[in-house]
Structure 1
């Protein structure tokens, strides 16, 4: 029983963390758990974390943390739009100020307020075009769907809906003549740290292509198949044509504002010639990346 009343800490992404204290948790256990968590956060992140308190203002919580944003949101109620925008703006500015900055979302009571903020921040980041890794959006959406949405009140669900990143388009222009063994590698580029991270890698032979569409599920994708951030129902579709003419309907393809596809092949972070330096592929996979 006591184990069920312990606080739960979850890394949704590397830079967004949640601390949840269930209803009915005694004050003594809450404070003991909180102190242990704060010591861990300070040890791992130093003063690079900001705690967003989604529960009522708590003097003890403020004294234990160097930087606290008190929202004052009421349990079981949906906050007004201005409050949501204000908190999301502060969160976004904090993450953008320094690459080591992390957010800690603290909620004591019901998880509805946590669901409101996570869903709202996904929307906010899409609109402001300042999102972290696209994979982080999948991770946040999965956390919202799996852990939060079922525990929200109908009003809270009506107030916000988790954003969907359904499709991401890449177009090869001018058209490329494909023949023989082909390798496709997708990276997420971090211009600030001059690094990139492999999102997925795949190989195929044109002799085995039938029709104009090749579909690869998560299990078919190198790197992504073992990456928990890549959605389980995610897939990669390659559309090929018989001629260099533009594919009919291509003008309808568009990416969300949070997605930037870099076609600058003169940039060494973007360019890769065939199988050049294949030994670095796994190194690239482990590099930290971001938009």
Structure 2
């Protein structure tokens, strides 16, 4: 007589499967399987390999890639794009279950060995994770955090490394990746294209990368990351040598007040960080409805050097993030001269203020400029005497520009002079997503100002 499975007790056991969905996030799930499937981790790995091997028609990988262009030739299905003939942008080479929706490390290795055997080098930009580097022939790491720009000190060594590798053999390629292979990867690829003179401006490099890497031309979209591509473009265009510059933040202003909690009232707070260390956290500031100006003076002068992050949040029962931005003190260039005595507070710039740009020159460039100027001083004085006190717009020999130290020193003499960094709403991280202008008006901007020798004052105006 036949038997039904319901006539016998189930020989099932319950196991807990710990899956790493992404770094730092673990999902514990209980599954009921026949006891023959004791090694669930092995079973899960076999399933991951099976799904990953569905090359061309794997809808999961395509869904995760979103608008990124994929390489789907010769039996491969990879989140990988040739930006140029020797520059590759790709997603993270993942293992285990993550390979279901990201590039499989096996597939990436097979691709590179098949297409560029002994002529490829991988550049890993992830600070949050790594992998077995022995799976590849060459791997270099230049890590920085997701959704953030790199430290300025990282960009030049990266460009030197890539250029040295590509120059060794015309067949060499550089494969650059972060996690998704878009934002951080785009920053460094664009910087290298500027370094190698493939593009003259940051805008050109960013647009080119966006058109190659994505179908919607949205490559590097985070404002601070785009800003740092612009910073590096400035270094290349003006042949500057980057050197950290120390400034001191004195005050932050918001003008007018943004909307908080659905109404123009509430408390606002900000933090200033440098190298992942919080230097200052302000006390909550009450924002009243209809306030045209919010002044946020610091209780102490905070010296900052190099890469700086400023974050704003709404202070309720919990902290709700508003927006943030990164900037580098070396590139705080614009100088504003405000009439009236400085009594410790910043007067609102008016029409009688004059604004000019102070170039941040390195010591080497300043020395070269001075030598060149001295050699041509007599000719300059005779031919361009009428331009001695202004910038030469007629093509004559320009006067030497001040060094950063000289500029700041001059501010110690004239307390009415301030350096200004202005950032529009559309260049503020998170705030740029407010396209309907519900929280910030379309002309919302951040102004980082007030340097008196090494004193900076931040202004946020709307």
Question: Where on the TM-score scale, by shorter chain, does this alignment land: which range?
Answer: 0.3 to 0.5
Higher helix share: 1
Per the normalisation by structure 2, the TM-score is 0.30
The structure whose residues are more often strand, as a share, is: 2
Give the structure-1-normalised TM-score. Answer: 0.46
Structure whose CA Rg is larger:
2
Higher RCO, Cα 8 Å, sep 6+: 1
